[in-house]
């Protein structure tokens, strides 16, 4: 299987070409064709010499993802399912906001963290995505926008699709450098957000990267007992390990951090938890805000979405305690926009079809 050309950072491509006797400027040309003119074949790169094109064709492919499904919601949200070269299926979502177009990318096929409320966690990780496969999700969405001919550009990225980005750390970092590069899509680091379930070791590492990318932490509970119940990763990284990593990140970067908090009815949405959360975040409230997320119910989990009053009450308690807080607006609820839901439905459908086929064959 050939590698995706999008796997390579600009420096990696430059080195790769120079090692094979090509001039340094070829890498700039190739990147210009890929990210600005956005061609889908090497042969369309008209100012690149034949030899170089041949070399690229022998070693790389431009499109490794195949679009399987594209669902458009009334509010402009578009959900894509892509088939990878090895047959695995991943999902990508485009959302329209007043500030721009944001794409939610997947980083792994499945997820091993196994949070008890999440559709992605139901499907064990079968592998990490390469950096190119993550970049290609953005490129495919951009190509779809280009085809519409309205000049729309992807302006924001959230790494909040299926998978735990810090469990695929190096590929995620390469992905961030590629989309952020001035020579490529040039999506500003401040317009990119990476969300983690709280792998403390990688939070330290991320704080030390020379990247201005935003960080979001999926907290979902203000104490260990409750957090371990809904997120088993809390056993490995309980709050007394996690919070010092966050403090280090804040001190090192001085950037604001988002705490994500899914509102689960009668589980984590009482006044008591709001007060505990306010206390937990008190010493970092100048650099943090809480995103209250209405839960998107998943078929195989028993959790329910909190009542509106509970969400508003939780919000009030945080506000009264001086914590910055927003209630997340939902997009694309009519098309399974919660991470992993479309994919898990598709995987189930495929399994059922396979079983039916096997039955018929017997
Ligand atoms: N693995 C990373 C990033 C992907 S999940 C993480 O956990 O942070 C992105 C966000 O979606 C997380 O905050 C996650 O808790 C949330 N999420 C997962 N399932 C959800 C659901 N059914 N409804 C609402 N949010 C959900
Ligand atoms: Fe994995 Fe994030 Fe889902 Fe947890 S919430 S199972 S870490 S994708």
SS3 content of the chain, % helix, strand, coil (to 5): 45, 20, 35
In the chain, what percentage of residues exceed pLDDT 70?
A: 91
In whole angstroms, what is the distance from residue 53 CA to residue 354 CA? 41
The pLDDT tens digits of the residues spanning 33-91 come to 999 999 999 999 999 999 999 999 999 999 999 999 999 988 889 999 999 999 999 99
Across the range 134-139, mean pLDDT stands at 98
The distance from CA 49 to its chain's CA centroid, rounded to whole angstroms, is 36
Q: What is the DSSP letter of 307?
A: P
d(CA 41, CA 53): 10
Rounded distance from Cα 339 to ligand 1 centre (Å): 7
Looking at residue 121, its pLDDT comes to 65
Nearest ligand 2 atom to the CA of 119 is 3
Tallying the residues shown for the chain, one arrives at 362
- Is the pTM above the cut of 0.85? yes
What's the confidence (pLDDT) of residue 63?
92
**For residue 76, what pLDDT is reported?**
87
| H or E element at residue 144 | helix 131-148
- State the pLDDT confidence band at 232, using cuts at 50, 70 and 90: very high
- The answer, yes or no, to whether residue 334 has pLDDT greater than 60, is no
Query: pLDDT at residue 361 above 90?
Result: no
Task: Calculate the alpha carbon distances from 148 to 100, 167, 277 in Å.
Answer: 16, 35, 45
3-state class (DSSP) for residue 4 = strand
- Measured CA to CA, the distance from residue 139 to residue 154 in angstroms comes to 9
Residue closest by Cα to atom 13 of ligand 1: 218
The 3-state DSSP class for residue 189 equals helix
CA of 30 to the centre of ligand 2 (A): 36
Q: Could you tell me if the CB of 338 is within 6 A of ligand 1?
A: yes
Q: How far is the CA of 339 from the centre of ligand 2 (A)?
A: 9
**Could you write out the DSSP letters of every residue in 321-333?**
TT-EEEEPPP--G
- Residues 166-220 have pLDDT tens digits of 999 999 999 999 999 999 999 999 999 999 999 999 999 999 999 999 999 999 9
Please say whether the beta carbons of 271 and 222 come within 8 A: no
What average pLDDT does the structure give for the chain?
A: 92
- Alpha carbon distance 110, 126 (integer Å): 6
- Which two tokens mark 333? 């609820």
Confidence of residue 120 (pLDDT cuts 50, 70, 90): confident
Ligand 1 site, residue 218, Cβ cutoff 6 A: yes
Catalytic residues: 91, 339
Judge if the beta carbon of residue 119 lies within 6 A of ligand 2: no
Interval 260-313: pLDDT, tens: 999 999 999 999 999 999 999 999 999 999 999 999 888 777 899 999 999 999
CB 314 within 8 A of CB 326: no
Please report, for residues 39, 174, 261, the alpha-carbon distance to residue 61 in angstroms, rounded to integers and kept in the order given: 12, 18, 40
Of the candidates 43, 82, 81, 87, which has an alpha carbon nearest to the alpha carbon of residue 61?
43
Cβ–Cβ contacts within 10 Å for residue 67, how many? 14
Would you say the CB of residue 219 lies under 6 angstroms from ligand 2? no
Our answer on whether the CB atom of 323 is closer than 6 Å to any ligand 2 atom is: no
Where residue 362 falls among pLDDT bands split at 50, 70, 90?
Answer: low
> Is the distance from CB of 230 to CB of 194 less than 8 angstroms?
no
Q: Which mutation among 262, 296, 303, 332 tests ligand 1's pocket best, with the greatest number of atoms within 8 A of CB?
A: 262
């Amino acid at each position: 299987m050939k590698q995706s050309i999008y796997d390579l950072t600009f420096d990696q491509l430059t080195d790769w070409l120079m090692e094979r006797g090509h001039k340094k400027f070829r890498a700039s040309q190739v990147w210009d064709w890929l990210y600005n003119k956005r061609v889908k074949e090497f042969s369309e790169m008209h100012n690149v010499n034949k030899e170089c094109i041949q070399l690229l064709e022998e070693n790389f492919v431009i499109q490794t993802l195949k679009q399987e499904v594209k669902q458009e919601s009334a509010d402009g949200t578009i959900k894509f399912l892509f088939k990878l070269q090895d047959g695995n299926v991943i999902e990508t979502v485009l959302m329209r906001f007043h500030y721009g177009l944001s794409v939610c990318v997947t980083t792994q096929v499945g997820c091993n963290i196994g949070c008890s409320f999440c559709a992605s966690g139901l499907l064990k990780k079968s592998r990490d995505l390469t950096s190119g496969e993550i970049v290609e999700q953005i490129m495919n969405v951009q190509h779809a926008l280009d085809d519409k001919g309205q000049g729309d550009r992807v302006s924001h990225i959230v790494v909040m699709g299926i998978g735990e980005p810090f469990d695929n750390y190096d590929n995620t970092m390469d992905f961030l450098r590629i989309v952020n590069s001035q020579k490529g899509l040039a999506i500003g680091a401040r317009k990119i957000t990476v969300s983690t379930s709280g792998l403390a070791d990688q939070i330290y590492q991320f704080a030390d990267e020379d990247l201005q990318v935003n960080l979001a932490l999926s907290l979902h509970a203000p104490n260990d007992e409750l957090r371990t119940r809904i997120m088993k990763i809390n056993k490995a990284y309980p709050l007394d390990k996690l919070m010092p990593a966050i403090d280090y990140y804040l001190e090192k970067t001085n950037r604001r951090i988002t705490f994500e908090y899914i509102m689960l009815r009668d589980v984590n949405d009482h006044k008591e938890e709001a007060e505990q959360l306010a206390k937990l975040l008190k010493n970092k409230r100048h650099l943090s805000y809480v995103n209250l997320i209405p839960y998107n119910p998943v078929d195989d989990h028993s959790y329910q979405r909190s009542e509106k009053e509970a969400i508003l009450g939780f919000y009030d308690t945080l506000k009264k305690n001086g914590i910055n807080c927003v209630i997340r607006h939902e997009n694309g609820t009519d098309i399974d926009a919660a991470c992993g839901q479309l994919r898990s439905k598709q995987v189930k459908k495929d399994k059922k079809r396979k079983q039916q086929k096997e039955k018929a064959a017997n």
